[in-house]
């Protein structure tokens, strides 16, 4: 182990393929060929490999990208990396991309279309090999313009027919509206009639779909939705908390709450607790998402499970397929009810 080739301790300029070639007494072409597994005379191959490992040489990914036009990078755009739901989705994406040798480049758009545009620019500038867009507000035309330039996977946007038609894009959605109806129906079947809905951020497509699903289920059972039952929200705990406090204080009668996501359910749960209302004895509470923590809420939260991680995995796989020019097989993912302890039959 005598690694005494460099003088000790100064601005160690990074090695290049030339250095390897010089040490091995071959041309740079040969070094390149060895690294890429092309045919080379065995003894030369051996020599080069030796130098490669002696010098601990690693070729510059930038230079590689320059010549073969691919970066092994995938741009991933979500609303907020650190939000619990997206974190799960990201975990899925990360997991499969790790295996395919691609590197995700995550960007948060912060629910702001300007940031989304900017992220797209950055992705394009950096020549990512594919883009995964999760939700967001980008107009269809903007997305369509991407198709053909590079593989595009769109997650959680409905009504983007044109884009999906052109090959080179994949569309993944979950039936948010149906899931919301599922949740609401569950409450109805438990005997609840006065069901409050805590809405998500109104600029989010998902929030609207869930509100609609709630209305669907109510209508399907001939139940009126009183305006004071639909409470504005934004997917965050604090707003749900305040809204729920307000509702109780106004003494409006209700027996169940459907929150547009689990985070809001947490807020509602605490508010109800503060007001001395027991969940589920006095009020049934159902959420949406099934975050990892939701199972540990007190009481454990009944909710509609979104397979976020699997969705991320499917998105990454689709991106991978698209990059390989094979048409992606899109797993058909389902929302389903997970029954825990925050809902119960209405006492008559």
Please identify, using beta-carbon distances, which residue of 12 and 141 lies nearer to DNA.
12
Interacting partner of 18 out of a copy of itself, DNA, none (Cβ under 5 to 8 A depending on kind): DNA
Stretch 180-199: interaction string toward DNA, x if CB under 7 A: --------------------
Question: Is 248 near a copy of itself (CB under 8 A)?
Answer: no
Q: Which of 174, 164, 75, 158 is nearest to 117 (CA)?
A: 75
The rounded distance, in Å, linking the Cα atoms of 275 and 261 is 21
Question: Is 41 near DNA (CB under 7 A)?
Answer: yes
**Contacts to a copy of itself from residues 92-121, by CB under 8 A:** 94, 103-108, 121
Q: Which of 196, 187, 197 is nearest to 344 (CA)?
A: 187
Q: Using the 8-state DSSP alphabet, how is residue 37 labeled?
A: T
Q: Confirm if 246 and 233 have CB atoms less than 8 A apart.
A: no
Cβ neighbours of residue 343 closer than 8 Å, sequence gap 6 or more: 186, 187, 190, 256, 280, 284, 285, 286, 302
Cβ neighbours of residue 141 closer than 8 Å, sequence gap 6 or more: none
The rounded distance, in Å, linking the Cα atoms of 90 and 311 is 9
Q: Using the 8-state DSSP alphabet, how is residue 3 labeled?
A: -
**Contacts to a copy of itself from residues 178-217, by CB under 8 A:** none
CB of 215 to DNA, least distance (A): 51
CB of 41 to a copy of itself, least distance (A): 28
**Residue ranges binding DNA (CB under 7 A):** 13-18, 25-30, 32-33, 35-36, 39-41, 44, 59-60, 63-64, 66-69
**Residue ranges binding a copy of itself (CB under 8 A):** 5-6, 9, 11-12, 58-63, 65-66, 71, 80-84, 87-88, 90-91, 94, 103-108, 121-122, 124-127, 148-149, 166, 237, 241, 263, 266-267, 269-270, 273, 292-293, 295-300
């Amino acid at each position: 182990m005598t690694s005494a080739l460099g003088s000790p301790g100064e601005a160690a300029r990074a090695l290049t393929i030339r250095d390897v070639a010089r040490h091995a007494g071959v041309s740079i072409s040969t070094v390149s060929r060895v690294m890429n597994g092309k045919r080379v005379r065995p003894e030369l191959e051996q020599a080069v490999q030796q130098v490669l490992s002696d010098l601990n040489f690693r070729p510059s990914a930038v230079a590689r990208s320059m010549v073969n036009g691919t970066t092994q990078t995938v741009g991933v755009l979500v609303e907020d990396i650190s939000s619990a739901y997206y974190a799960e989705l990201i975990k899925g994406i990360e997991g499969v991309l790790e295996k395919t040798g691609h590197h995700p480049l995550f960007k948060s758009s912060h629910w702001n279309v300007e940031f989304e545009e900017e992220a797209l620019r950055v992705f394009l500038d950096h020549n990512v090999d594919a883009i995964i867009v999760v939700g967001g507000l980008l107009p269809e035309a903007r997305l369509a313009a991407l198709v053909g330039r590079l593989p595009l996977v769109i997650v959680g946007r409905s009504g983007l027919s044109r884009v999906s038609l052109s090959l080179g894009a994949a569309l993944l959605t979950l039936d948010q509206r149906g899931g919301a109806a599922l949740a609401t129906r569950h409450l109805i079947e438990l005997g609840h009639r006065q069901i409050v809905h805590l809405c998500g951020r109104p600029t989010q497509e998902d929030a609207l779909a869930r509100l609609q699903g709630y209305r669907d289920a109510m209508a399907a059972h001939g139940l009126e939705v009183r305006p004071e039952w639909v409470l504005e929200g934004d997917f965050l705990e604090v707003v749900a908390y305040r809204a729920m406090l307000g509702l109780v204080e106004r003494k409006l009668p209700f027996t169940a709450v459907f929150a547009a996501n689990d985070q809001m359910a947490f807020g509602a749960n605490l508010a109800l607790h503060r007001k001395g209302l027991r969940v589920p004895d006095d009020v049934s509470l159902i959420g949406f998402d099934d975050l990892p923590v939701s199972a540990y809420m007190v009481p454990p939260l009944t909710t509609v499970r979104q397979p976020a991680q699997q969705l991320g995995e499917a998105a990454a796989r689709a991106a991978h397929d698209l990059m390989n020019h094979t048409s992606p097989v899109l797993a058909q993912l389902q929302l389903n009810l997970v029954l825990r302890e925050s809902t119960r039959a209405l006492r008559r």
